[in-house]
Homo-oligomer: A and B are copies of this chain.
Amino acid sequence: MSTLQNVVLLVGGVGGAKLALGLADILPAGTLTVIVNTADDFEHLGLHVSPDLDTVMYTLGGRANPQRGWGVEGDTFKAMEMVTTYGGASWFNLGDYDLGTNIYRTALLREGKTLSQITRQFCEALGIHQYILPMTDDTVHTRLDTVEFGMMDFQPYFVRERWQPTVTSIHFEGAEAARPASGIVEAIKAADALIIGPSNPFLSIDPILAIPGIRTALLDAAAPVVAVSPIVNSKALKGPAAKLMRELELDVSPVSVARHYMFLLNGFILDNADSHHVGDIQSLDIAATHLDTIMTTKSDKVRLAEQTINWIEEKIV
Protein backbone atom coordinates (compact mmCIF):
# COMPACT_ATOMS: atom_id res chain seq x y z
CA MET A 1 0.00 0.00 0.00
CA SER A 2 1.28 3.40 -0.99
CA THR A 3 2.15 5.93 1.71
CA LEU A 4 1.11 8.77 -0.58
CA GLN A 5 -1.99 10.48 0.76
CA ASN A 6 -2.90 12.62 -2.21
CA VAL A 7 -2.03 12.19 -5.86
CA VAL A 8 -2.86 14.67 -8.62
CA LEU A 9 -2.85 13.56 -12.27
CA LEU A 10 -3.00 15.92 -15.26
CA VAL A 11 -4.48 14.39 -18.42
CA GLY A 12 -6.18 14.78 -21.75
CA GLY A 13 -8.23 11.89 -23.12
CA VAL A 14 -7.51 8.24 -23.83
CA GLY A 15 -3.83 7.77 -22.82
CA GLY A 16 -4.20 9.75 -19.61
CA ALA A 17 -7.45 7.99 -18.76
CA LYS A 18 -5.65 4.63 -18.84
CA LEU A 19 -3.15 5.74 -16.21
CA ALA A 20 -6.01 7.30 -14.23
CA LEU A 21 -7.72 3.90 -14.16
CA GLY A 22 -4.54 2.20 -12.94
CA LEU A 23 -4.04 4.80 -10.21
CA ALA A 24 -7.71 4.63 -9.19
CA ASP A 25 -7.28 0.90 -8.73
CA ILE A 26 -4.31 1.11 -6.34
CA LEU A 27 -4.97 4.34 -4.42
CA PRO A 28 -7.57 4.57 -1.63
CA ALA A 29 -10.92 6.17 -2.53
CA GLY A 30 -10.82 9.95 -2.40
CA THR A 31 -7.03 10.30 -2.73
CA LEU A 32 -6.72 10.73 -6.51
CA THR A 33 -7.57 14.01 -8.22
CA VAL A 34 -7.58 14.02 -12.03
CA ILE A 35 -7.31 17.46 -13.66
CA VAL A 36 -8.64 17.23 -17.21
CA ASN A 37 -8.07 19.37 -20.30
CA THR A 38 -11.22 21.15 -21.46
CA ALA A 39 -9.71 23.18 -24.31
CA ASP A 40 -11.12 20.56 -26.74
CA ASP A 41 -14.66 21.26 -25.51
CA PHE A 42 -16.90 22.63 -28.20
CA GLU A 43 -20.50 23.23 -29.11
CA HIS A 44 -21.90 20.69 -31.56
CA LEU A 45 -25.55 20.81 -32.65
CA GLY A 46 -26.16 23.12 -29.71
CA LEU A 47 -24.70 20.66 -27.20
CA HIS A 48 -21.70 21.32 -24.96
CA VAL A 49 -19.35 18.42 -25.71
CA SER A 50 -16.40 17.74 -23.34
CA PRO A 51 -14.52 14.87 -24.99
CA ASP A 52 -11.60 14.49 -22.57
CA LEU A 53 -13.70 14.95 -19.45
CA ASP A 54 -16.13 12.28 -20.63
CA THR A 55 -13.39 9.84 -21.62
CA VAL A 56 -11.92 10.06 -18.11
CA MET A 57 -15.37 9.89 -16.50
CA TYR A 58 -16.52 6.88 -18.52
CA THR A 59 -13.18 5.16 -17.89
CA LEU A 60 -13.25 5.61 -14.10
CA GLY A 61 -16.99 4.88 -14.04
CA GLY A 62 -16.46 1.54 -15.80
CA ARG A 63 -18.58 2.65 -18.76
CA ALA A 64 -15.88 3.29 -21.39
CA ASN A 65 -15.73 1.48 -24.69
CA PRO A 66 -12.41 -0.35 -24.42
CA GLN A 67 -11.94 -0.89 -28.15
CA ARG A 68 -12.68 2.58 -29.44
CA GLY A 69 -11.11 4.50 -26.59
CA TRP A 70 -13.91 7.08 -26.55
CA GLY A 71 -17.61 6.90 -25.83
CA VAL A 72 -19.65 4.41 -23.84
CA GLU A 73 -19.54 0.64 -24.08
CA GLY A 74 -22.49 -0.88 -25.92
CA ASP A 75 -23.50 2.46 -27.35
CA THR A 76 -25.52 2.88 -30.55
CA PHE A 77 -25.69 5.83 -32.91
CA LYS A 78 -29.40 6.21 -33.65
CA ALA A 79 -29.77 9.90 -32.85
CA MET A 80 -26.83 10.90 -35.05
CA GLU A 81 -28.06 8.58 -37.80
CA MET A 82 -31.33 10.54 -37.74
CA VAL A 83 -29.46 13.89 -37.79
CA THR A 84 -27.54 12.67 -40.83
CA THR A 85 -30.77 11.54 -42.51
CA TYR A 86 -32.03 15.11 -42.22
CA GLY A 87 -28.83 16.48 -43.75
CA GLY A 88 -27.04 17.46 -40.54
CA ALA A 89 -23.27 17.33 -40.06
CA SER A 90 -21.95 13.79 -39.76
CA TRP A 91 -18.24 14.42 -39.11
CA PHE A 92 -18.49 14.32 -35.32
CA ASN A 93 -20.21 11.19 -34.07
CA LEU A 94 -21.74 10.82 -30.64
CA GLY A 95 -23.35 7.65 -29.32
CA ASP A 96 -26.81 7.63 -27.79
CA TYR A 97 -25.67 7.10 -24.19
CA ASP A 98 -23.01 9.74 -24.79
CA LEU A 99 -25.67 12.16 -26.06
CA GLY A 100 -27.53 11.68 -22.78
CA THR A 101 -24.44 13.04 -21.00
CA ASN A 102 -24.10 15.93 -23.43
CA ILE A 103 -27.82 16.83 -23.46
CA TYR A 104 -28.09 16.88 -19.68
CA ARG A 105 -24.78 18.71 -19.18
CA THR A 106 -25.89 21.37 -21.67
CA ALA A 107 -29.26 21.74 -19.92
CA LEU A 108 -27.55 22.14 -16.52
CA LEU A 109 -25.04 24.67 -17.91
CA ARG A 110 -28.00 26.70 -19.25
CA GLU A 111 -29.52 26.56 -15.75
CA GLY A 112 -26.33 28.24 -14.49
CA LYS A 113 -24.46 25.31 -13.00
CA THR A 114 -20.71 25.21 -13.59
CA LEU A 115 -18.94 22.48 -15.53
CA SER A 116 -17.18 21.34 -12.34
CA GLN A 117 -20.45 21.16 -10.38
CA ILE A 118 -22.01 19.14 -13.19
CA THR A 119 -18.97 16.86 -13.43
CA ARG A 120 -19.14 16.20 -9.68
CA GLN A 121 -22.86 15.33 -9.95
CA PHE A 122 -22.24 12.99 -12.90
CA CYS A 123 -19.26 11.28 -11.21
CA GLU A 124 -21.28 10.67 -8.05
CA ALA A 125 -24.09 9.20 -10.14
CA LEU A 126 -21.59 6.86 -11.85
CA GLY A 127 -20.16 5.78 -8.48
CA ILE A 128 -16.70 7.28 -9.11
CA HIS A 129 -14.64 7.61 -5.93
CA GLN A 130 -11.94 9.84 -7.40
CA TYR A 131 -12.14 13.58 -8.04
CA ILE A 132 -12.39 14.47 -11.73
CA LEU A 133 -11.96 18.22 -12.18
CA PRO A 134 -12.22 20.14 -15.45
CA MET A 135 -9.16 22.40 -15.60
CA THR A 136 -11.44 25.45 -15.57
CA ASP A 137 -15.09 26.50 -15.63
CA ASP A 138 -14.12 29.31 -17.99
CA THR A 139 -13.96 28.93 -21.76
CA VAL A 140 -10.60 27.98 -23.27
CA HIS A 141 -10.40 26.98 -26.93
CA THR A 142 -7.47 25.29 -28.63
CA ARG A 143 -6.92 26.79 -32.08
CA LEU A 144 -4.30 25.62 -34.56
CA ASP A 145 -2.71 27.59 -37.35
CA THR A 146 -2.33 25.23 -40.30
CA VAL A 147 -0.75 25.38 -43.73
CA GLU A 148 -3.80 23.96 -45.50
CA PHE A 149 -6.78 25.58 -43.72
CA GLY A 150 -5.32 28.60 -41.91
CA MET A 151 -6.56 28.97 -38.32
CA MET A 152 -8.70 26.00 -37.25
CA ASP A 153 -10.74 25.07 -34.22
CA PHE A 154 -9.60 21.92 -32.48
CA GLN A 155 -12.33 19.44 -33.40
CA PRO A 156 -12.40 20.25 -37.14
CA TYR A 157 -8.59 19.75 -37.07
CA PHE A 158 -8.62 16.63 -34.94
CA VAL A 159 -11.77 14.78 -35.95
CA ARG A 160 -13.02 16.18 -39.25
CA GLU A 161 -9.54 16.40 -40.85
CA ARG A 162 -8.14 13.48 -38.77
CA TRP A 163 -5.18 15.68 -37.63
CA GLN A 164 -3.72 15.65 -41.15
CA PRO A 165 -3.27 19.43 -41.62
CA THR A 166 0.28 20.72 -41.05
CA VAL A 167 0.38 22.76 -37.86
CA THR A 168 2.56 25.86 -37.61
CA SER A 169 1.40 27.09 -34.19
CA ILE A 170 -1.05 26.24 -31.39
CA HIS A 171 -3.04 28.74 -29.36
CA PHE A 172 -5.18 28.42 -26.23
CA GLU A 173 -7.73 31.19 -26.56
CA GLY A 174 -8.97 32.38 -23.20
CA ALA A 175 -6.34 30.53 -21.17
CA GLU A 176 -4.58 33.62 -19.80
CA ALA A 177 -7.88 34.91 -18.34
CA ALA A 178 -9.13 31.51 -17.19
CA ARG A 179 -9.28 30.64 -13.50
CA PRO A 180 -8.55 27.12 -12.28
CA ALA A 181 -11.77 25.29 -11.41
CA SER A 182 -12.61 25.24 -7.72
CA GLY A 183 -10.52 22.66 -5.84
CA ILE A 184 -7.60 22.50 -8.27
CA VAL A 185 -5.16 24.82 -6.51
CA GLU A 186 -6.05 23.21 -3.15
CA ALA A 187 -5.48 19.70 -4.57
CA ILE A 188 -2.09 20.69 -6.02
CA LYS A 189 -1.05 22.27 -2.69
CA ALA A 190 -2.15 19.20 -0.71
CA ALA A 191 -0.59 16.68 -3.12
CA ASP A 192 2.22 14.28 -2.22
CA ALA A 193 2.82 13.60 -5.92
CA LEU A 194 1.91 15.41 -9.13
CA ILE A 195 1.86 13.27 -12.26
CA ILE A 196 1.61 14.45 -15.85
CA GLY A 197 -0.07 11.61 -17.73
CA PRO A 198 1.13 10.13 -21.05
CA SER A 199 -1.12 12.57 -22.92
CA ASN A 200 -0.29 14.78 -25.88
CA PRO A 201 1.99 17.50 -24.43
CA PHE A 202 0.97 20.12 -26.98
CA LEU A 203 -2.77 19.51 -27.24
CA SER A 204 -3.75 17.98 -23.89
CA ILE A 205 -1.30 19.12 -21.22
CA ASP A 206 -0.20 22.55 -22.51
CA PRO A 207 -3.74 23.99 -22.29
CA ILE A 208 -3.84 23.00 -18.60
CA LEU A 209 -0.42 24.56 -18.01
CA ALA A 210 -1.50 27.68 -19.93
CA ILE A 211 -3.88 28.62 -17.13
CA PRO A 212 -1.81 30.97 -14.93
CA GLY A 213 -3.32 29.80 -11.62
CA ILE A 214 -2.52 26.14 -12.38
CA ARG A 215 0.98 26.87 -13.72
CA THR A 216 1.81 28.91 -10.61
CA ALA A 217 0.37 26.30 -8.26
CA LEU A 218 2.48 23.58 -9.93
CA LEU A 219 5.64 25.71 -9.76
CA ASP A 220 4.97 26.46 -6.09
CA ALA A 221 4.01 22.90 -5.17
CA ALA A 222 5.97 21.12 -2.46
CA ALA A 223 5.32 17.72 -4.09
CA PRO A 224 7.45 16.38 -6.92
CA VAL A 225 6.19 16.65 -10.49
CA VAL A 226 6.72 13.51 -12.58
CA ALA A 227 5.75 12.99 -16.22
CA VAL A 228 5.11 9.72 -18.05
CA SER A 229 6.29 9.86 -21.66
CA PRO A 230 3.64 9.69 -24.39
CA ILE A 231 6.43 9.06 -26.92
CA VAL A 232 7.75 5.51 -27.18
CA ASN A 233 10.50 4.56 -29.60
CA SER A 234 10.06 7.81 -31.59
CA LYS A 235 6.35 7.23 -32.03
CA ALA A 236 3.20 8.52 -30.36
CA LEU A 237 1.18 5.64 -28.97
CA LYS A 238 -1.94 7.30 -30.34
CA GLY A 239 -2.79 10.52 -32.12
CA PRO A 240 -0.72 13.38 -33.52
CA ALA A 241 1.97 13.94 -30.85
CA ALA A 242 4.89 12.68 -33.00
CA LYS A 243 3.57 14.39 -36.14
CA LEU A 244 3.20 17.68 -34.23
CA MET A 245 6.76 17.39 -32.89
CA ARG A 246 8.08 17.12 -36.43
CA GLU A 247 5.97 20.09 -37.52
CA LEU A 248 7.19 22.12 -34.53
CA GLU A 249 10.77 21.08 -35.47
CA LEU A 250 11.42 19.02 -32.36
CA ASP A 251 13.18 15.63 -32.26
CA VAL A 252 10.53 12.93 -31.94
CA SER A 253 11.94 11.59 -28.68
CA PRO A 254 10.94 11.43 -25.02
CA VAL A 255 13.85 13.82 -24.39
CA SER A 256 11.94 16.54 -26.26
CA VAL A 257 8.95 15.91 -24.03
CA ALA A 258 11.07 16.15 -20.88
CA ARG A 259 12.64 19.35 -22.18
CA HIS A 260 9.18 20.73 -22.96
CA TYR A 261 8.13 20.28 -19.30
CA MET A 262 11.62 21.07 -17.93
CA PHE A 263 10.53 24.17 -15.96
CA LEU A 264 8.28 21.90 -13.88
CA LEU A 265 9.73 18.41 -13.72
CA ASN A 266 11.43 16.51 -10.93
CA GLY A 267 11.11 13.12 -12.54
CA PHE A 268 10.43 11.51 -15.91
CA ILE A 269 9.39 7.99 -16.83
CA LEU A 270 10.41 6.68 -20.25
CA ASP A 271 9.41 3.49 -21.90
CA ASN A 272 11.83 0.53 -21.76
CA ALA A 273 12.27 0.96 -25.51
CA ASP A 274 13.86 4.36 -24.79
CA SER A 275 16.09 3.29 -21.89
CA HIS A 276 19.14 4.65 -23.77
CA HIS A 277 17.70 8.15 -23.20
CA VAL A 278 17.75 7.93 -19.38
CA GLY A 279 21.11 9.72 -19.26
CA ASP A 280 19.84 12.50 -21.58
CA ILE A 281 16.99 13.20 -19.16
CA GLN A 282 19.24 13.07 -16.10
CA SER A 283 21.56 15.59 -17.74
CA LEU A 284 18.58 18.02 -17.69
CA ASP A 285 18.70 17.60 -13.89
CA ILE A 286 15.55 15.48 -13.94
CA ALA A 287 15.40 12.06 -12.27
CA ALA A 288 14.58 9.38 -14.82
CA THR A 289 13.67 5.73 -15.04
CA HIS A 290 12.32 3.39 -17.67
CA LEU A 291 9.28 1.13 -17.39
CA ASP A 292 6.90 -0.73 -19.64
CA THR A 293 4.56 2.20 -20.33
CA ILE A 294 2.32 0.47 -22.88
CA MET A 295 -1.11 0.03 -21.31
CA THR A 296 -3.27 -2.43 -23.21
CA THR A 297 -4.94 -4.52 -20.53
CA LYS A 298 -6.31 -3.47 -17.17
CA SER A 299 -3.36 -5.17 -15.44
CA ASP A 300 -0.92 -3.15 -17.60
CA LYS A 301 -2.56 0.00 -16.27
CA VAL A 302 -2.45 -1.14 -12.66
CA ARG A 303 1.19 -2.30 -12.99
CA LEU A 304 2.36 1.00 -14.51
CA ALA A 305 0.45 2.95 -11.85
CA GLU A 306 2.05 0.86 -9.10
CA GLN A 307 5.56 1.15 -10.54
CA THR A 308 5.11 4.89 -11.05
CA ILE A 309 3.96 5.43 -7.47
CA ASN A 310 6.71 3.18 -6.08
CA TRP A 311 9.39 5.00 -8.05
CA ILE A 312 8.13 8.39 -6.87
CA GLU A 313 8.08 7.19 -3.25
CA GLU A 314 11.49 5.54 -3.35
CA LYS A 315 13.51 7.84 -5.57
CA ILE A 316 11.85 11.23 -5.67
CA VAL A 317 9.93 12.16 -2.52
A residues with a Cβ closer than 8 A to B are 45-47, 72, 75-76, 78-83, 85-88, 95-101, 103-104, 106-107, 110, 121-122, 125-126
**A103 B107 Cβ-Cβ under 8 A:** no
Q: Is the interface of A mostly helix, strand, loop or mixed?
A: helix
**B103 A47 Cβ-Cβ under 8 A:** yes
Nearest chain B residue, comparing its CB with the CB of A95:
B78
How far, in angstroms, from A126 to B122 measured CA to CA in the complex? 36
Known interface pairs A76-B76, A106-B46, A107-B46; A101-B125 also in contact (CB < 8 Å): no
| In the complex, the 7 A-B pairs of residues with the closest C-beta atoms, listed nearest first | A82-B100, A79-B100, A78-B96, A96-B96, A45-B107, A46-B107, A79-B99
Per assembly, the copies of the chain total: 2
**B110 A46 Cβ-Cβ under 8 A:** yes
Q: Which residues of B contact A110 (CB under 8 A)?
A: 46
How far, in angstroms, from A98 to B85 measured CA to CA in the complex? 12
**A88 B76 Cβ-Cβ under 8 A:** no
Nearest chain B residue, comparing its CB with the CB of A47:
B103
**B106 A82 Cβ-Cβ under 8 A:** no
**B45 A85 Cβ-Cβ under 8 A:** no
**B107 A82 Cβ-Cβ under 8 A:** no
Q: Which residues of B contact A103 (CB under 8 A)?
A: 45-47, 79, 83, 99, 103
A sample of 25 cross-chain residue pairs with beta-carbon separation below 8 angstroms, ordered by A number, consists of A45-B104, A45-B107, A46-B46, A46-B106, A46-B107, A47-B103, A76-B78, A78-B95, A78-B97, A78-B100, A79-B97, A79-B103, A81-B97, A82-B101, A82-B104, A83-B100, A83-B103, A83-B104, A85-B100, A85-B126, A86-B101, A86-B121, A88-B104, A99-B99, A99-B103
